Amino acid sequence: YLNILLKEKSVSRAADKLGITQPAMSNALRRLRDLLGDPILVRTSSGMAPTERAKKMEPLVVEALSRAEVALQPVKQFDPINSSRTFRIMASDYIEVSLIAPLLGHLNKNAPNVTLDILTPSDASFSDLERGDIDMAINRFDHLPDSFHQRSIWRDNFSCLMGPDHPAKNNLSLVKYLESQHIWVSKTGIGIGTGMSPMHSQKMGWVDEALFELGKKRKITLFTRNYQVAHYLLSTKNLIATIPTRAALVWLNTQGIHIAKPPFPIVPMEIKMAWSPVLHHNVGHKWLRDEIIKLASTIKDKQ
């Protein structure tokens, strides 16, 4: 109202410009006078004229309206071909090899100048994610703050990796599974995590919880947070690593690595993508989220 009044210097013309009645415009002028403690427009021999204060205010009002107009303009669509944005993603090496690696190939074709900065779960905290310092975290989470947005990436079953000389590679029974030595592999959530002990196997994740339900316990030789354990399998004939299937399938065509189905049921694990409300409406961020979801649906989860 103030901007139009100062431009038109007339209540009636300002009312016409705004498409309101003259009494409504007069009421608006009265409210402005009360608010500012200044008449704003005064009657002179040549018509209405702005006061000294109104003259000083006019360029400030125009500038403020101009800034508001820019801010309220529809946000341009994200242009992946020409963008040089860097996205920071927290992910375990399981997600790196099964999802991020094919994502990078996809981006090389569709967003050649976009860069990915991958952090391990130990590099990040929920505070980093909440502030938007990290674009997203992709992992299995025991819990997430209520303020975070999240989408399910996939549910993954489990597979067993064995070396070429493992005696049970062609017939993995529960008895043979329990007779073997095992590599425990897991890195979920976010943060540094805690140390592990074979004394508390029922608390060590999906595989050991499933065995605990059967009244069984496996022999764990190695605890690691790294899913890429193939070199251990090649050198030790009696080791088994039971890991998410999509991580296991990375080794599907690798000589000397045998993949088998676990001889007991294990509840699938759910992988989620989580991000801060700070970035929820960012068009580039939304584009990447959608690309990840579409790509994830194409990654096979069985041999």
Q: What is the pLDDT of residue 192?
A: 42
Q: What is the pLDDT of residue 71?
A: 63
Residue 243 has which token pair?
């890991």
Q: What is the pLDDT of residue 188?
A: 56
Q: What is the pLDDT of residue 4?
A: 82
Rounded Cα gap, residues 279 and 284, in angstroms:
9
Do 149 and 271 contact (CB within 8 A), yes or no?
no
Tens of pLDDT along the chain (303 residues) come to 778 888 788 888 888 877 888 888 888 888 888 888 888 888 888 788 888 888 888 878 777 766 666 566 556 788 999 999 999 999 988 999 999 999 999 999 999 999 999 998 888 788 888 888 899 999 988 788 888 899 999 999 999 999 888 989 889 999 999 999 999 887 555 544 444 555 554 456 889 999 999 999 999 988 888 887 777 777 777 899 999 999 999 888 888 889 999 999 999 999 999 999 888 989 999 999 999 999 999 998 887
Do 273 and 190 contact (CB within 8 A), yes or no?
no
- Alpha-carbon separation of residue 98 from 159, 244, 246, 297 (angstroms): 14, 10, 6, 12
Neighbours of 261 (CB within 10 A): 13
Rounded Cα gap, residues 65 and 300, in angstroms:
53
Rounded Cα gap, residues 172 and 262, in angstroms:
7
Sheet-wide strand order for 86-91? 115-119, 86-91, 136-139, 269-275, 149-156
